[in-house]
Chains A and B, each alone.
Chain A
Amino acid sequence: MDHSTHSTKESGDIPIPMTDSKSSKASSPLMPATTNKTAKQPPVSRLKRGLGVVDFILRICAIVTALAAATAMGTTSQQLPFFTQFFRFKADYDDLPAFTFFVIANATAGAYLVLSLPFSIVCIVRPHIIGARLMLLVFDTIAVPLVTAAASAAAAIVYLAHNGNSNANWVAICRQFDDFCQRVSGAVVASFITSLIFVVLVIVSAAALRRN
């Protein structure tokens, strides 16, 4: 019989009983091994493709929020219509280094997301890629603390601006710079949403890497 001769040829003396499906594979060694894999793997493939699509959609949402945060913060400037000899009454994002860092970090995150969109598409088209997914996971892991740091540094300043601090004699400035404070608070919220999306992106990449 075909399968017994094939098995004795490769294993030596002992003929090993084989099931039908395996004997048909052993008897046609010229058939590529990929047909076995495509017959077994569509559910996993579909799941990974689904995760890739989720990844892509989340990236687009994160681009929107990151760029919205950067522009909302970067275009704030309020000048009060009065002034005295000692105090300035103009507020820019430039005046606070935390806000400058915020704009830079969110713009960087937005640019990185735009550049990572092709890799995300490749992960949808070829669901079993490991290299591209791992690279996306690495860069997303670096982006999480970057965006979170920028968002929470700005949030600390905004909290101070809203409430002040009596022990350090820091005056709450939001009562005068109302418009500035509102825009800045909105930008901080958008940045926190971006950071949350990055966390979900890391989890999705890790889940897609897990099943293979």
Chain B
Amino acid sequence: MLFQHHLTTFVTSCKGLLQVNKSRKPKMAKAGRMEEGGVSKAPVPVGSNKGISVIDLVLRLVGIAGTLGAAIAMGTNEQTLPFFTRFVRFDAQYDDFRSFRLFVVVNAIVSAYFVLTIPLSIIHIMRSVARGTRILLIILDTIMLALLTAGASAAASIVYLAHNGNSSTNWLPVCQQYGDFCQGASGSLIGSFGGIVVLILTILLGAMALSRLAKRIV
């Protein structure tokens, strides 16, 4: 009973929200009909969507910097210790860890994706009523977000193990010998997580722009 009561109040408040939008529409529609004599489209103010598109472009540029930097920093990460024995190697490269290889590949893919979607972003600034390309961008952004998070957190998990080790599986922390290698890996992780935040923000901005277009066009 109480749940139904809350649900109906929620629904009526949402209806109230909707009617605020609907009450704007008949006036605009009448104005459109009188001006153009039969065409029911109202003039669309495009100012606020331009701001969103500009922020989107800036975020993508930041994302390129972050992911490209992360890929390069991890790809050139290697360290050779100055001593060796007959049986044990004492050098570490990013290649030796599968997760780091995945990390470099994924970051390269995402930075290429950012570069390729900059023209699309510029088109959104110029033409604010571009619904089809906006939803395509949101879809691709979500897929890239999942990919980037997978690569970044696999690498983060290995870096954490390398720093701390694990007593129950008898995995020794490697960072105590390979200090430079570990630092390079940790630094590149930061760039990649910055890229994740950028992707989340671009998805949210795109969704906000989509919902504003939906509200405004009659």
- Mark A residues whose CB is within 8 Å of B: 7, 10-11, 16-19, 22, 33-34, 37, 87-88, 90-92, 95-98, 118, 122, 125-126, 128-134, 137-138, 141-142, 144-145, 148-157, 159-161, 165, 167-171, 173, 195-196, 199, 202-203, 205-207, 209-212
Complex CA gap A149/B151 in Å reads 8
- Mark B residues whose CB is within 8 Å of A: 7, 10-11, 14-15, 17-18, 22, 25-26, 29-30, 33-34, 37-38, 89, 92, 96-99, 131, 134-135, 138-139, 142-143, 145-146, 149-158, 160-162, 166-172, 174, 196, 200, 203-204, 206-208, 210-211, 213-215, 217
Q: Quick one: given A144-B142, A206-B138, are A122 and B22 in contact (CB under 8 Å)?
A: no
Verify B204–A16 contact, CB threshold 8 A. no
Q: Which residues on the A side are within 8 Å of B204 (C-beta)? A: 138, 141
* Choice from B142, B146, B172, B211 contacting A134 with Cβ under 8 Å: B211
* Choice from A132, A173, A199 contacting B142 with Cβ under 8 Å: A199
Q: Quick one: given A130-B214, A153-B156, A206-B139, are A168 and B174 in contact (CB under 8 Å)?
A: yes
Q: Quick one: given A91-B168, A97-B160, A144-B149, are A7 and B92 in contact (CB under 8 Å)?
A: no
Distance in angstroms from B12 CB to nearest chain A CB is: 11
Verify A203–B142 contact, CB threshold 8 A. yes
Q: Which residues on the B side are within 8 Å of A16 (C-beta)? A: 34, 37
Q: Which residues on the B side are within 8 Å of A144 (C-beta)? A: 142, 145-146, 149
* Choice from A90, A92, A130, A157 contacting B215 with Cβ under 8 Å: A130
Distance in angstroms from A141 CB to nearest chain B CB is: 5
Q: Which residue of A lies closest to B19 (CB)?
A: A34
Distance in angstroms from A174 CB to nearest chain B CB is: 10
Q: Which residues on the B side are within 8 Å of A210 (C-beta)? A: 131, 134-135, 210, 213-214
Complex CA gap A210/B131 in Å reads 7
Q: Which residue of A lies closest to B34 (CB)?
A: A11
Q: Which residue of B lies closest to A149 (CB)?
A: B153
Verify A206–B166 contact, CB threshold 8 A. no
**Known pairs A98-B157, A157-B161 / 7 extra A-B pairs, C-beta < 8 Å:** A128-B18, A152-B149, A160-B171, A168-B174, A171-B170, A206-B207, A210-B210
Verify B96–A129 contact, CB threshold 8 A. no
Distance in angstroms from B96 CB to nearest chain A CB is: 4
Complex CA gap A182/B7 in Å reads 43
Verify B207–A167 contact, CB threshold 8 A. no
Complex CA gap A77/B112 in Å reads 43
* Choice from B145, B150, B214 contacting A209 with Cβ under 8 Å: B214
Q: Which residues on the A side are within 8 Å of B22 (C-beta)? A: 33-34, 37
Q: Which residue of B lies closest to A130 (CB)?
A: B211
Verify B96–A167 contact, CB threshold 8 A. yes
